[in-house]
Amino acid sequence: MYNYQLQGQNGLPSLKWNVMKVNGEGVVDVRPDSASVNLGVITESKELIAAQKENSVKSTNVINSLVSQGIGHERIKTFDYRIDSDYDYIEGKQIFRGYKVTNILKVKIDDLAGVGKVVDEAVKSGINYVSNVQFSVENKEHFYKQALTLALTDSIEKAKTLAAALKVHLNPTPRLIIESGTTVHPLSNYPETLVKGISSTPFEPGQIQVKASILAEFQYTPRVV
């Protein structure tokens, strides 16, 4: 809290204001309308060419399976592709075990009810790695503006509460508003897992929280008795 002095005519002080700073927060709960999941094929072999070939065949099968379920190629992209050398350590010695080829696809899904089926069919096609199942909302900006309005209302109500407690006269229009930022919290986020032989996988989208925060400054003066 600090003093702020307005200038009147001829630059002379006319009215002395005090200023209070108040944080405001707005939260909007949103039903998600899209999902994404990382699906991976991991193959191992002592021969690198063999591991690559097996991985390529299985990855192609997975992509074909996804496309057959109505997921367009534009919604399937390579998230990670790498080749690693695996070793065993026996009695302090490093023993070459073979090569591991990992191909991870990031898949965007619009039909939330079909997420479990997509994962199941992918497993049948050769997927042995599933991670980072996330639900999101497409039009985040629309809901952020709603949250921002709530944040402003929250700051005004807090300022009014403080003014009433201090028994001062409040100008309810903020003299300054600083946007603190936005956060989007998916409430359903499945951690990394290796998947083998699963079926009828259930995935509940839950809700997403869109938050907005502001810092607002309000002017106030002592009440005239």
Place of tokens 């936005």: 182
Q: Does any domain span residue 6?
A: yes
pLDDT reported for residue 186: 55
Q: Taking CA 173 as the corner, what is the angle to CA 168 and CA 178, rounded to the nearest 5 degrees?
A: 110
| Interhelix angle 115-125/48-68, nearest 10 degrees | 140
| 148, 215: one domain | yes
Residue that finishes a domain, picked among 119, 136, 153 = 136
Alpha-carbon distance of 109 to 38, in angstroms, equals 11
Q: Does any domain span residue 199?
A: no
Q: Does any domain span residue 179?
A: yes
- Phi/psi at 164 (5° precision): -65, -40
Q: Which two tokens stand for residue 161?
A: 């509460």
| 22, 46: one domain | no
Nearest to 113 by CA among 46, 203, 8: 203
Which pLDDT tens digit goes with each residue over 90-142?
Answer: 888 899 999 999 999 999 998 888 888 899 999 999 999 999 888 888 888 99
Alpha-carbon distance of 79 to 81, in angstroms, equals 7
Q: Does any domain span residue 178?
A: yes
DSSP string, 149-177: HHHHHHHHHHHHHHHHHHTEEE--S-SEE
| 90, 181: one domain | no
Which amino acid appears at position 67 of this protein? V
The count of structural domains within the chain is 2
| 40, 132: one domain | yes
| 118, 55: one domain | yes
pTM: 0.67
For the beta carbon of residue 176, count every other beta carbon within 10 angstroms.
11
| 86, 132: one domain | yes
| 38, 120: one domain | yes
Which domain range does residue 171 map to? 2-30+141-185+209-222
| 52, 125: one domain | yes
Which domain CATH number covers 129?
3.30.70.2970
Which domain CATH number covers 22?
3.30.110
| 63, 130: one domain | yes
Contacts of 113 (CB under 8 A, 6+ apart): none
| 39, 103: one domain | yes
| 42, 25: one domain | no
pLDDT reported for residue 222: 87
Residue that finishes a domain, picked among 97, 115, 136 = 136
Residue that finishes a domain, picked among 99, 119, 136 = 136
Identify the bridge partners of residue 83 per DSSP, sorted by sequence position.
101
| 177, 213: one domain | yes
Per-residue pLDDT of the chain (225 residues; tens, 9 = 90+): 333 333 334 444 445 689 999 999 999 999 898 899 999 999 999 999 999 999 999 999 999 999 999 999 999 999 999 999 999 888 888 999 999 999 999 999 988 888 888 999 999 999 999 998 888 888 889 999 999 999 999 999 999 999 999 999 999 999 999 998 666 655 444 444 445 444 456 677 778 889 999 999 999 998 765
